[in-house]
Amino acid sequence: MRIMEVLKKEQYNTTTHDLGFMMYCSFGNANQIAPKPEYKDILINSAKSLATRFDPKVRAIRSWDSDKEDYLVIIDNMMNLELLFWATRVTGDSSFYEIATTHANTTIQNHFRPDYSSYHVINYDPTTGAVQQKRTAQGYSNESAWARGQAWGLYGFTVMYRETKDPKYLAQAKGIADFMLHHPNLPQDKIPYWDFNAPNIPNALRDASAAGITSAALLELCQYVPAKTSKEYFAAAETMLQSLSSDTYRYAPGTNGGFLIKHGVGHFPQGTEIDVPLTYADYYFIEALKRYQELSKN
């Protein structure tokens, strides 16, 4: 609860796109477990702050603030849209919903290659909305498939289908899932290398955070697809969770400051957070375990 108090002020933060991560993963879960009017107000204010970063010319939510001639949107931003859907349900204000779907449509149009792999960063012209550049920041190269970026996209478009029931979002999520699961460089234990095109595979570092996010997404996506595909997605997620639960990827209880998962890769090109525990690795691992437990009861 101490950290929740520290986080409260972020509801008015209009300088970041990560309000979905910051506020919905914290106050959103708190509001589900023990609803409070204060939590609801904080989340609505957070959605309003996030909505200020949407530009109707670009038809997307700005991710990183940058030079005025650039408008940067990253694939991670798909994870923040769930907060906007929640805000429309609670307030009845459809503008949040419209921003979320518009952003997702722009992302489908510009972030993805024909094989359903995604770029990390799209740089738009803020005056016209035209694409100026497609590149990566945290992946190996501009044309590589950064593993956590693929996971963010998979999770984000699974949420899009849940919230809208629009089949194009289901098709997008399936395409991303199939790209990842059928990729020749996906290891047998299903924990991806930090980039699917890292040059030193099989000696490249793994990114356990990508596996945690992917397993959580697959355990939802498997409920929306035909039986044969559902079994494939469930089995892949199960293998990921078994791997993450093994001594290879999980810290012994009570060690390492309470972190659960080893071998996360934050920003390899920048040399930061290399082969370390990451908060979001733990978060999505726990979410995946919860989903797995619920599905296993059925």
In this structure, the strands spanning 54-55 and 131-135 are unpaired
Given 18, 55, 70, 125, which residue is catalytic? 18
Tell me the residue type at 113.
Answer: R
**DSSP-based three-state secondary structure for 293:** helix
- The strand order across the sheet containing 131-135 reads 71-74, 121-124, 131-135
Q: Is 18 a catalytic residue?
A: yes
Question: Which phi and psi angles does 91 have, rounded to 5°?
Answer: -100, -20
Q: Are 187 and 210 in contact (CB under 8 A)?
A: no
Q: Is 93 a catalytic residue?
A: no
Given 55, 76, 93, 207, which residue is catalytic? 76
Question: Which phi and psi angles does 58 have, rounded to 5°?
Answer: -80, -25
Which residues are CB-contacts of 228 (< 8 A; sequence separation ≥ 6)?
none
Show which residues are catalytic. Answer: 18, 76
